[in-house]
Amino acid sequence: MRAAHLRSLCTSLRRTAIDQVSTEAHSTSSAHQTLLPCLQQSCYCSAAITQSSDTKQTNLCSAINDALHIALEQDARALCFGEDVSFGGVFRCTVGLYERFGRDRVFNTPLSEQGIVGFGIGAAAMGCTPVAEIQFADYIFPAFDQIVNEAAKYRYRSGGDFNCGALTVRAPYGAVGHGGHYHSQSPEAFFTHVPGIKVVMPSGPREAKGLLLSSIRDPDPVVFFEAKMQYRTVSEEVPTGDYMIPLGQARIARSGSDITLVGWGQQVAVLERAAEAVQQSDGISCEVIDLRTLLPWDREAVAASVSKTGRLLVSHEAPITSGFGAEVVANISKRCFLHLESPPLRVCGYDTPFPLVFEPVYLPSVQRVMAGIRESCGF
């Protein structure tokens, strides 16, 4: 029944997209020449994007939910789908969407990550704005081929005639305290090796809402990783209205002068706590940079900070070997070689499967980061 519903919906979407193309685009001799402007002109553009001065205390789950409500409200072609999405999702991030926007725009899918992303690619190519949910980032790998060989290359291989840039793939990632090796992984580095997509990892509720809205409206496919540990453990003041945070621009989370700490996602909070602790205990001033976006990443912001501090420490939950921290260290070592006072360091997860009872030992904790800071500053 689900498969039949998806086939019916896909046919309906295709007909709708073709109808909209025929009325909105200039007449041309071929279908592919009209599909492109239709896709480029997203429906949300007709509504003014406002930054509300009103804020409210919001956790990460509610911030994601707010962003999805805004996206579907402003873009009549926006869709939200995935396993259990119409029920609110296992983390409850999609609560209320089905009731407000109906089964044709918010719906459950079969338990097939490859099918979820593949459907999203097709819907995006037909002029829709799909937001696909992968229930856990650990299970994104069956969809790896669709993301890497289809979504990322769709525009390139057609010479710009077609694209699926409106696709956004959401996936909860990272440690949660009890997830073990199948519900705790951080697979972001796999996707940062792929030209044609963007990879975004917000560090908190305010960042998540603005970055998700930017991702949904971005002209390229985006893989959007959400720290599930933060869904209900982190709350902050978040604007209640519509706002966007530009992709590819890092954020200075804490200013400092002795060493630059670089992270993304929930590891930014660990770096901030370590920076405060080492300031109190050792008098070391740390500058903390939240990359926000890994592909593309803000090289200039990191280089400017390291040129000032002379030291660099990068930290992430994923295993250290071939983690994205290696890319940051390699790039900044070349750019800032003459400014460095000590070798750049990485404080990361170990090269093991993500453990269960040994999770506290595996994670790059505040204590491990502090040890790295002291090592760098004492070089």
CA pair distance 2, 14, nearest whole angstrom: 18
Q: Which two tokens stand for residue 122?
A: 């097709």
- Catalytic entry in 133, 150, 183, 317: 183
> In 3D, which of 74, 296, 122 has the Cα closest to residue 132?
122
Cβ–Cβ < 8 Å for 304, 318 = no
CA pair distance 247, 254, nearest whole angstrom: 20
Task: Name every residue whose Cβ is closer than 8 Å to that of residue 131 and which is 6 or more positions away in sequence.
Answer: 68, 71, 78, 79, 80, 81, 168, 170, 216
b/e code 308-332 from CB counts within 10 Å (16+ = b): bbbbbbbbbbbbbeebbbbbbbeeb
Cβ–Cβ < 8 Å for 141, 187 = yes
287 strand-pairing partners: 260
> In 3D, which of 164, 175, 252, 171 has the Cα closest to residue 208?
171
CA pair distance 189, 193, nearest whole angstrom: 7
- Catalytic entry in 83, 113, 226, 327: 113
**HSE-CB of 230 using CA atoms within 13 angstroms:** 29
**Catalytic site includes residue 113:** yes
> How would DSSP label each residue in 226-287?
EEGGGTTT-EEEEESS-----TT--EEEE--SSEEEEE-TTHHHHHHHHHHHHHHHH---EE
CA pair distance 238, 60, nearest whole angstrom: 10
**Active-site amino acid positions:** 113, 183
